[in-house]
Amino acid sequence: MTITHPQTTEEFEKYYDLRWRILRAPWDQPKGSEKDKKEKGAIHLMACEKDKIPVGVGRVHFNSPEEAQVRYMAVEEDQRGKGIGAIILKELERSAVQKGAKIIMLNARDNAVPFYERYGYKIVKPSHTLFDSIPHFEMRKEL
């Protein structure tokens, strides 16, 4: 397993494809909906097994000089439970701390809350409901 930053156009295409297939396609969302306006300034990571094909991805960006936000965490369904998400999350946290983050926050889907709680995140409050069907919770962790 290799943890890397996508660099080339081809690597970013694979990275975004995984994000779309896991986080958007099941809810009939169009290609492109897996991106937002903070892509360029963000730190992107992907876990690859071979041939630089990602099996897990995640991103962190800054909301302020001291607050980072994790977004778009996704792991291939057949790769879940192997620690890939934990590896990506820890590396995103490490990268955020290196750039000055004191707090990291995220909006977790309801089924992902226990995962984030295992790594020290605490629910702050209910957040939005995505696609009228996926409740989210704002979570925070002091770094």
Mean pLDDT of 39-50: 94
pLDDT of residue 1: 86
3-state secondary structure 98-137: HCCCCEEEEEEEHHHHHHHHHCCCEEEEEEEEECCCEEEE
Distance CA 19, CA 49 (A): 17
The answer, yes or no, to whether residue 5 has pLDDT greater than 90, is yes
Does the pLDDT of residue 128 top 90, yes or no? no
| For range 33-50, the mean pLDDT | 94
The SS3 call for residue 90 is helix
Question: In sequence order, what DSSP letters do the residues of 36-81 get, joined into one string?
Answer: -TTTTTSEEEEEESSTT-EEEEEEEEESSSSEEEEEEEEE-GGGTT
Q: Which domains does the chain have, with CATH numbers?
A: 2-104 (3.40.630.30)
**pLDDT of 123:** 97
Three-class SS of residue 139?
strand
Mean pLDDT, rounded, of the chain: 95
Closest CA to 16 of 38, 40, 33: 33
In this predicted model, what pLDDT tens digit does every residue of 65-110 receive, in sequence order?
Answer: 999 999 999 999 999 999 999 999 999 999 999 999 999 999 999 9
- 113: alpha, beta or left? (left if phi > 0; alpha if psi -120 to 50): alpha
Confidence of residue 52 (pLDDT cuts 50, 70, 90): confident
pLDDT grade, residue 133 (50/70/90)? confident
Predicted TM-score (pTM) of the model is 0.94
